[in-house]
Amino acid sequence: MSGSSDLPKYPFARSPRSYNPPAELGELRRQGPTERVQLFDGKPAWIITRHKEVCEMLNSDRLSNERYNRDGYPEIHSGTKKEGVRPTFVHMDAPKHERHSHDGELFAPEATEALKPQIQEIVDGLIDLIKDRGCKDGPIDLVIEFAAMVNPKAILLLIFKVPEKETNKIIQASSALSGTSGTASESGHTDLHDLLSQLVDERIKKPGSPQEDLISKLVIEQYRLGSLDRDDLIILVYMILVAGNSAIESSIALGVTTLLQNQDQLRELRDKPELAGQIVEEILRYHTPSALNSRRVAMADLRLGGKEITAGTSVIGFVRSANRDERLYSDADKFDIHRHVDPHQNLAFGYGPHNCQGQWLSRLELQVVFSTLFRRLPNLKLAIEPSELEYTPPTQNVGVVHLPVVF
């Protein structure tokens, strides 16, 4: 077996002018499902690139997601792991993961479908503001003025039941942390944490209906019963709000960018807005913006993709690569709105115990966006050449930094 210095260096470079995955991913996927790479600190890790094996990895109870408690958890660049950080449910294994998360009842498919009229109102309201402003003073940045606003508005108004007049400060703070600009500061995190702490304290003092308001539900069913303390509750509310923002923002911006460069498919969407559901699945498969990778450390020896992985070894599952796996999708590097993508096989929102509980709400938000945006702004187009668009750095989830458009 070759030494770690001879291995491909990870993370792989992605062009700042392209949304496509690094070429190395396709090369590794063709070699085999489980290959070795070298991390920034010189340590070796296994990288999993094919759909079947990524699913096995994400469902394995021999692999741990406890970033702060286990040696061998893979870091992708320096300075990302801070000592003394209180772990969130995202970095917990069962049974702590289940105890510190939420039951997802308000995010179930039937519950989210009932929110469609209100989500339509949110999307229409944002488009109204764009139309009112117009393009006389220059292009609209569709990331800042639309894509970054949809999810925080939906979560605050519909899931947390925050009165609209009280949402602006929270939306400003959460949008600053969405991940595409790369400029989020410690003060930004602190501002949002303080605002959400106030919100949680209000609900602890006077909870609302647990059937309609997730924070009140968590207060009544977990905080009062002692399974979550105040700090846990604040962190959980923070994560629920922030976790989906980057994925929704990037999916909207990348989807718009891709459709504007595939005018024949865009015409079909304009003529048949009911295609939005399958188009959203293809956008999520093709771009997979919600997860740069899924990292684990082996707690016990296991065999994965034909390779022996020993306890204490770093393992990285690349869901973007899995969603481009030629064994599952023919011509997988092509964007095709007629492709059948099974939502339960689409790894854009993860898989297994750590899959995103808010994924059905996210899908609904995106379906409303793509069935509405080009109908209400039929002449929407890029204000610059596609080659001039700037994408996020390779160490971040893929996204568009700014999306200047005119209509």
Residues 6+ apart with CB under 8 A from 348: 247, 284, 285, 287, 288, 289, 290, 291, 319, 323, 359
Alpha-carbon span 156 to 296, nearest angstrom:
32
| 57's tokens | 């990895």
Find, among 398, 19, 18, 22, the residue nearest to 180 by Cα: 398
Residues 144, 406 contacting (CB under 8 angstroms):
no
Alpha-carbon span 133 to 330, nearest angstrom:
43
Residue-level pLDDT at 289: 84
Instruction: Give the chain's end-to-end CA distance (angstroms, integer).
Output: 57
Residues 154, 366 contacting (CB under 8 angstroms):
no
Residue-level pLDDT at 367: 98
Residue-level pLDDT at 12: 87
Residues 196, 234 contacting (CB under 8 angstroms):
yes
Alpha-carbon span 389 to 401, nearest angstrom:
8
With H, G, I as helix, E, B as strand and everything else as coil, classify residue 127. helix
Residues 203, 215 contacting (CB under 8 angstroms):
yes
Residue 140 Cα to chain centre, angstroms: 24
Find, among 238, 229, 166, 164, the residue nearest to 197 by Cα: 238
Residue range of the domain that includes 292: 4-406
Alpha-carbon span 138 to 322, nearest angstrom:
40
What pLDDT tens digit does each residue of the chain (407 aa) get? Answer: 455 668 999 888 887 788 888 899 999 999 999 999 999 999 999 999 999 999 999 999 999 988 877 888 888 877 665 555 565 666 667 656 555 555 567 788 998 999 999 999 999 999 999 999 999 999 999 999 999 999 999 999 999 999 998 898 899 888 767 555 444 556 667 889 999 999 999 999 999 998 889 999 999 998 999 888 999 899 889 988 988 888 999 999 999 999 999 999 999 999 999 999 999 999 999 999 865 568 999 999 999 999 999 999 999 999 999 999 999 999 999 999 999 999 999 999 999 888 888 899 999 999 999 999 999 999 999 999 999 999 988 767 889 999 999 99
> Could you give the number of structural domains in the chain?
1
Summarize the chain as % helix, strand, coil (round to 5): 50, 10, 40
Residue-level pLDDT at 102: 58
Residue-level pLDDT at 94: 66
| 345's tokens | 């096989």
Residue-level pLDDT at 1: 47
Tokens 């911006």 -> residue: 253
Domain holding 392: CATH number? 1.10.630.10
Alpha-carbon span 256 to 266, nearest angstrom:
9
